[in-house]
Amino acid sequence: MLRKIGLAIAVAVVAAAVQFTGATSAQASPGQGMATVVSLGDSFIAGEGGRFAGQADNPATDRGWGVYGNTVNWTDGWGAHEGGCHRSDSAPVLGLSAAAFQRINIACSGAITSGVWRADHGGVSFKGEQPQASQLAAIAQNNNVKAIVLSIGGNDFGFGDIVHDCVTAYTLTLAPCRNYWDTQTRMRMGDVMGKIRHAIDDIRTTMSAAGYGNADFRLIVQSYPAPIPAKADLRGNNSGCLLYGDDAEWVNRIMVPRLAGAIRQVVRDSNTGAFTNAQFLDISGAFKGHELCNKGAQYSYTARPGREVAEWANWISFLAGTNRMNESAHPNFFGQLALQDCLRMMLDAASTGNFRCANDPGAGQVGLALHPLGTIWNSYGPGQVLSANMSIPAGTCVYAATNNGRLCFQSDGNLVNYRGSTAIWSSGTHVTGGTAVFQGDGNLVVYTSAWQAAWHADSWGNPDSELVLTDSGFVSILNPGGTAIWQTGTSGGGGGAPGGGGPGGPPRHEN
């Protein structure tokens, strides 16, 4: 097995030039020379937004354009992906020890999954650079690569468009953006997951072609930090985050966990065959207490706040000023430091298993900690949880740990939640020879013997969720962030009539 990689790593590949520390490429090759870590992906690992030590649009926090080296370029116009790759001096991988590790950062702000894929497998050049898996080929041959860190999928998911539309909705007093984007993100989920898997497979293909085996390197795939707090934690002055409270709630508790669950499921499913070296790092809670407009964080228009009290995400701006649009809602310098802490701890952790990195103390403190992720996300016993693609055959029940509640798919084809001897909810179905299935997309479905949906919970599009029987006897479907997206005993527990099915929609049987 690959030994744990301690301390840290990551090299800044700047536009056409690569900056190396430690051994030169002539001194290293697979299995020989200084250990190397390579970061690939999009803006959240490239270092976009790292020039601000505090909220943006405050001259006291601006560290200057020089933090991006020669990867900064505003001459391409005011489009969705302006300028260069914006690899900053505070990119997560650059927080690791340059004395001990070769560090290479080829991530690029604005990249989508096809910018990571191999050129011979559908990959496309981006901002004047070859697809990242193709760049990785030369790096792998000329360096002793021990870890690859990947952040990708957010742009395919529509993160930038979501931020834009949410701010526009608030500014123009339109309907909350979640009304549109909740369905859109659910519909996109299957496609995005397939594209992330493509990126993982292409990275492994590249490494295999360079002579690396499964035990020779770690592939760490990370999620995204929630940049905005839940509604209850928003400050009264919403400068820098012109959002409805309900939209902030949706971003923090639904959208970010939805994408995290998708990435974790892809990582788990990718660990088959010759390669089982992928690990998932959940950083959804890395900014806890320091999100943009968190009421517990401090901000100032004239002074630079300390890391322990500052916001860790950049203000949102669509104006041509100090803060540019593509830096909005991205980790600022202090946010980059938090992600550096997470990556450093991940590389010091076991080379197998998945982990969660969170700022446990919350507002007013810096206390990033790494926690193992078990087979389930939340703190319920395995006997109380149904995970992806588990079924309840006719005539059987799943019990809560206290035996106070149970979910039974009765022999008459009705799915019933009992608390004690009292039925508190049912699907109202009567099918012969059917099955109840909790699917990998987060949907609970009652199927007929012909695998036609007779009822579903309408919770599809939430990968890696869990169905939990609580001690109170109710049944909840919890997303990876622990938010109930469906539950019995409430107005939302009725579920839905059978949907049309099809890729990305409700409901369809998953073999």
Q: Is residue 84 part of a domain?
A: yes
The residue among 373, 394, 412 that closes a domain is: 373
pLDDT(279) > 50: yes
Residue 451 lies in a domain: yes
CATH of the domain at 450: 2.90.10.10
Burial label, 191 (beta-carbon count in 10 A; 0-12, 13-18, 19+): middle
pLDDT at 169: 95
Half-sphere exposure of 199 (CA within 13 A, CB side): 31
Selected residue with higher pLDDT from 491 and 392: 392
In this structure, the answer to whether residues 141 and 226 fall within a common structural domain is yes
Helices 159-171 and 178-209, axial angle in degrees (round to 10) = 160
Q: Tell me whether residue 501 is in a domain.
A: no
* CB-based contacts of 426, cutoff 8 Å, min separation 6: 414, 415, 416, 417
Structure tokens at 34: 């200084």
Kindly state whether residue 395 falls inside one of the protein's structural domains. yes
Question: 363 and 225 share a domain?
Answer: yes
- CA torsion angle 202 207 211 212 (round to 10): -120
Domain count, the chain: 2
Amino acid code (one letter) for 330: H
Q: Which of 354, 373, 392 is the last residue of a domain?
A: 373
Is residue 311 in a domain? yes
**Is residue 226 within 8 Å of residue 234, measured between CB atoms?**
no
- Residues 390 and 339 reside in one and the same domain: no
Compute the average pLDDT of residues 325-338.
92
- 314 assigned to some structural domain: yes
How far apart CA 107 and CA 116 sit, in angstroms, is: 9
Provide the pLDDT for residue 493: 55
Cβ–Cβ < 8 Å for 502, 439: no
Q: Does 165 share its domain with 275?
A: yes
- The pLDDT value recorded for residue 19 is 33
pLDDT over 80 (residue 377):
no
Q: Are both 409 and 459 inside the same structural domain?
A: yes
Q: Range of 413's domain?
A: 382-494
Per-residue confidence at 23, pLDDT binned at 50, 70, 90? very low
Tokens of 479: 């997303």
H or E segment and range at residue 484:
strand 484-487
Asked if 486 and 367 sit in the same domain, the reply is: no
Q: What pLDDT, on a 0 to 100 scale, did the predictor assign at position 59?
A: 83
170 and 250 both lie in a single domain: yes
Residue 395 burial (10 A CB sphere; 0-12, 13-18, 19+): exposed
Same domain, 335 and 421: no
Do residues 19 and 133 both lie within one domain?
yes
Identify the three-state secondary structure at position 348: helix
The H helix count followed by the E strand count for the chain is: 8, 21
Distance CA 268, CA 61 (A): 40
Give mean pLDDT, residues 258-268: 96
| H/E stretch holding 399 | strand 396-399
Residues 409 and 299 in one domain: no
CATH code of the domain in which 186 resides: 3.40.50.1110
- Across-strand partners of 29? 32
Q: Is residue 398 domain-resident?
A: yes
Of the candidates 350, 373, 396, which is a domain's last residue?
373
**Domain match, 253 and 337 both:** yes
Which pLDDT score, from 0 to 100, does residue 22 have? 41
Find the helix or strand (DSSP H, E) in which 197 lies: helix 178-209
Q: Are 24 and 14 in contact (CB under 8 A)?
A: no
- Report which of 459, 460, 430 is spatially closest to residue 446, judged by C-alpha positions: 430
Rounded to two decimals, the pTM is 0.89
What is the average pLDDT across 11-29?
Answer: 44
Candidates 116, 118, 117, 96; CA nearest to 35 is 96
Tell me the pLDDT of the chain averaged across its residues: 86
Quote the CA–CA distance of 461 and 178 in Å, as a whole number: 14
User: pLDDT tens across 453-482, in order?
Assistant: 999 999 999 999 999 988 788 999 999 999
pLDDT beyond 60 at 152: yes
| Mean pLDDT to the nearest integer, 326-348 | 95
- Helix intervals (H) in 47-158: 132-142, 154-157
Q: Are residues 335 and 392 in the same domain?
A: no
Please check whether residue 364 lies inside any domain of the structure: yes
- As a whole number, mean pLDDT of residues 64-68 equals 88
pLDDT > 90 fraction of the chain, expressed in percent and rounded: 68
Return the structure tokens found at 374: 């078990």
Mean pLDDT of 305-330: 80
Say if residue 139's pLDDT is above 70.
Answer: yes
- List b or e across 87-117, with b for residues whose CB sees 16 or more CB atoms inside 10 angstroms: bbbbbbbbbbebebbbbbbbbbbbbbbbbbb
